[in-house]
Amino acid sequence: MVPILQNSCARATSLEEARYRIDIPIEGRRGARVVALDDGAATLVRRLAREPWNAARFYTLPAQEPGEPGTWLHRTSGSSTPLADELAEGDVVVMIATRNDASAAAVETLGRAAAERGIMTAAVALGRQEGMTNAVRALRPYARVLLVNGEESDVAELLTAIRS
Amino acid sequence: MLKTEINELLTQTGPGTPMGELFRQYWIPALLAEELPENDSPPVRVKLLSERMLAFRDSEGRYGLIDEFCAHRGASLWFGRNEEGGLRCAYHGWKYDVTGQAVEVPSEPENSNFCAHVKLRSYPLVKIGDVLWTHMGAPDERPPLPEFEFAQVEPEQTYISKRWQESNWLQAFEGGIDSSHVSWLHSGGLKSDPLFKGAKGNEYNMNDLRPFFEVADAEGGLFVGARRNAEEDSYYWRITPWVMPSFTLVPPRGDHPVHGHWWIPIDDHNCWAYSFDYHPTRPLTETEVAAMRAGHGVHSENIPGTYRPVANKDNDYLMDREAQRRGEYFSGVKGIAIQDSSLQESMGPIVDRSKERLVSADAGIIKARQKLRKAALALQKDGTVPPGVDPAHHRVRSAAVVLPRDAAFIESSQDALTAEPGKPHASV
């Protein structure tokens, strides 16, 4: 069938035709969960939590917690919460490490819990890669997307880009 | 998602725009050397970064890239006569040399120095490999010439083509660092394209459709690593380097030549896709070159005498629904290059990135946008020379490697990712 209207062929990619694109508000992401894996990351996460986000939630790891590392999270408001509850409505877990000794056990717990629920995982390792080898090694099996040599602004950029 | 004002910043490359000034820091491909094949060959109209110019090669083989329009009445010099060391306007006979300097104004007295004060804007035009490169920035900030390996190997080891893409440069470039589309859009090519098929890596590609991604900063841009399962104790890594502003290398497959691209803005709604293949250690075979000329691999079959693809938006890219059903081409469009251009052009001349829904797997694109924006603003604010200007940043390679599962791709592939004359490329 030969197209007889502009909008029924590839010529509809013109700027003029772009006016007719269906334009409805895009709903933001509801399920971003951002977890700091160490003290440096916790400072960043607390700062980010004060920014206006769509529905992103921000956590640190409790200094002392019941059960395996990572099974409980600390909200930036101060209260503790079970990981399982926080992942119930989650759709992406973003882990942030600033130190080479980021908890590998917590990463594994978070990664496995996300994988079981079909939740995407991403991680940002801040700092030069040569100083973050252990952290990167711990993150690699569990972060489907890993930004290494990252800068602080990468975290906000990533969260903004994915409408967190 | 990108704010509208940032989208505009990244996509507008005309004179005086932040991204336009960023592009003007680099040596960029202006045209192919084949477009000016001999001394006094016909001049070629060139539009780059929203500036209209004319390229020509004078009687002594010097290349010039000058304002397209005569200083006298604004007529196009494309109609001019390229002869006796300059380009003469067909209207009233004003003549210019390759620097844009007027050398004759016939209406003035013979001993007049009038023409000494008439000079068209001009840019340098330098042949390296099969490309004529230009630098459209300030002459006193001109960096050393580019040192990309594809343009430095022996002529028989390299092949380059170009095609007109009817979209902004950014959406074309973003396809180059978006490794996750390969297993879908180009899946047919992995099985059948003569410049792709037969590599062991293709099996790893097709057996694992959900790669993990790592994005690492590099001095000149980024390395984007896509990791797939290989054997029980190993991963298959495809590592794509990006050198700012818009140069990428595709990870190789087996002993096939290495592909890569340069995306150069023509104006804000059009760009040139320069696509090349080279082999670092051997001449390309006749069969390979014939395949490239026929539009296989990353190349396109163009309308003879032009750089417009035969399959283009006027004919719906020769979409073949039967081939799509058979699984020959995932999208029904033939050829890697046109598969990319058809979808990227379908987004519109400048895609509205405030409406997109990125996912974390788009981290390479997100990071690249951030680096471009920061570099453009740092240049604007305090003149910071952006990454990718230093020729040392050009000496990179792509790689396809199988690594132990606990190996970091950057550290383990440092040597493979560095270009050195005569060194075999790392490929699976």
- Please check whether residue B106 lies inside any domain of the structure: yes
Report the amino acid identity of residue B419: A
What integer best gives the mean pLDDT of chain B?
Answer: 95
Give CA–CA dist B356/B93, Å, rounded: 53
Answer whether B408 sits within 8 Å of A133, measured CB to CB: yes
pLDDT, one tens digit per residue, over B90-103 is 999 999 999 999 99
Answer whether B345 sits within 8 Å of A14, measured CB to CB: no
pLDDT score of A65 = 66
pLDDT score of B287 = 96
- Compute how many other C-beta atoms are within 10 angstroms of the C-beta atom of residue B131: 25
**Residue A5 pLDDT exceeds 80:** no
Residue window 27-86, chain A: list those with CB within 8 Å of chain B: none
CB B400 within 8 A of CB B424: no
Pairing of strands B95-96, A120-126: unpaired
Pairing of strands B158-165, B212-217: unpaired
From A16, which residue of chain B is nearest by alpha-carbon distance?
B348
Give CA–CA dist A74/A38, Å, rounded: 12
Answer whether A120 sits within 8 Å of B410, measured CB to CB: no
Q: Helical H runs in A1-82?
A: 39-49
- B91 and B215 share a domain? no
Find which of B20-24, B195-199, B203-207 is predicted with most confidence, using mean pLDDT: B20-24
Listed residues B112, B135, B158: the one ending a domain? B135
**Residue B195 pLDDT exceeds 80:** yes
Which run of H or E residues covers position B88?
A: strand B86-88
Which residues are within 8 A (CB) of B32 and not within 5 positions of it... i.e. 6 or more apart? B130, B131, B132, B160, B161, B162, B274
Contacts B357 to A, Cβ<8 Å: 26, 162-163
Domain segments of chain A: what residues? 26-161
CB B393 within 8 A of CB B220: yes
- Residue A7: which pLDDT band, with cuts at 50, 70 and 90? confident
- B113 and B207 share a domain? no
| Size of chain B in residues | 428
Give CA–CA dist B398/B426, Å, rounded: 8
Which run of H or E residues covers position B170?
A: helix B169-176
Distance from CA of B122 to the nearest CA of A (A): 32
- Residue B133: which pLDDT band, with cuts at 50, 70 and 90? very high
- B105 and B200 share a domain? no
For the domain made up of A26-161, give the CATH fold: Rossmann fold (3.40.50)
pLDDT, one tens digit per residue, over A55-64 is 999 999 987 7
Q: Which among B2, B349, B362 has the least Cβ separation from residue A15?
A: B349
Listed residues B135, B166, B197: the one ending a domain? B135
Q: Name the strands in the sheet holding B27-32, side by side, starting at the edge strand that comes first in the sequence.
A: B27-32, B131-135, B126-128
CB B297 within 8 A of CB B150: no
Test the A interface: residue of B5, B165, B360 with most A CBs within 10 Å: B360
Q: Of the ranges A50-59, B170-179, B197-206, B271-280, which one carries the lowest mean pLDDT score?
A: B197-206
Distance from CA of B367 to the nearest CA of A (A): 7
DSSP one-letter string for B111-130: T--GGGG-B--EE--EEETT
**Residue B198 pLDDT exceeds 90:** no
- Please check whether residue B386 lies inside any domain of the structure: yes
**Residue A3 pLDDT exceeds 90:** no
Report the amino acid identity of residue B321: R
Answer whether A10 sits within 8 Å of B342, measured CB to CB: yes
- B366 and B327 share a domain? yes
- Please check whether residue B14 lies inside any domain of the structure: no
pLDDT, one tens digit per residue, over A60-117 is 998 776 677 778 999 998 899 999 999 999 999 999 999 998 889 999 999 999 999 9
- Please check whether residue B19 lies inside any domain of the structure: no
- Residue B196: which pLDDT band, with cuts at 50, 70 and 90? confident
Q: Which among A26, A141, A146 has the least Cβ separation from residue B357?
A: A26
- Residue A129: which pLDDT band, with cuts at 50, 70 and 90? confident
- B303 and B398 share a domain? yes
pLDDT score of A28 = 85
pLDDT score of B126 = 98
pLDDT score of B206 = 81
- B296 and B369 share a domain? yes
Give CA–CA dist B257/B260, Å, rounded: 10
CB A95 within 8 A of CB A122: yes
- B109 and B255 share a domain? no
Looking up residue B201, the CATH number of its domain turns out to be 3.90.380
Which residues are within 8 A (CB) of B363 and not within 5 positions of it... i.e. 6 or more apart? A122, A145, A147, A158, B213, B215
Contacts A4 to B, Cβ<8 Å: none
Number of domains in chain B: 2
DSSP one-letter string for B205-246: HHH-SS-EEEEEE-SSEEEEEEEEE-STTEEEEEEEEEETTT
Distance from CA of A85 to the nearest CA of B (A): 22
- B221 and B129 share a domain? no
pLDDT score of B66 = 98
- B209 part of contact set with chain A, CB < 8 Å: no
ipTM: 0.92
DSSP one-letter string for B235-285: EEEEEEEEETTTEEEPPP-TTSPEEEEEEEEEETTEEEEEEEEE-SSSPPP
**Residue A142 pLDDT exceeds 90:** yes
Distance from CA of A65 to the nearest CA of B (A): 29
pLDDT score of A1 = 63
pLDDT score of A49 = 96
Answer whether A145 sits within 8 Å of B1, measured CB to CB: no
In this prediction, residues B388-401 reach a mean pLDDT of 98
Looking up residue B33, the CATH number of its domain turns out to be 2.102.10.10
Report the amino acid identity of residue B282: R
State which residues form the domain around B87.
Answer: 29-135
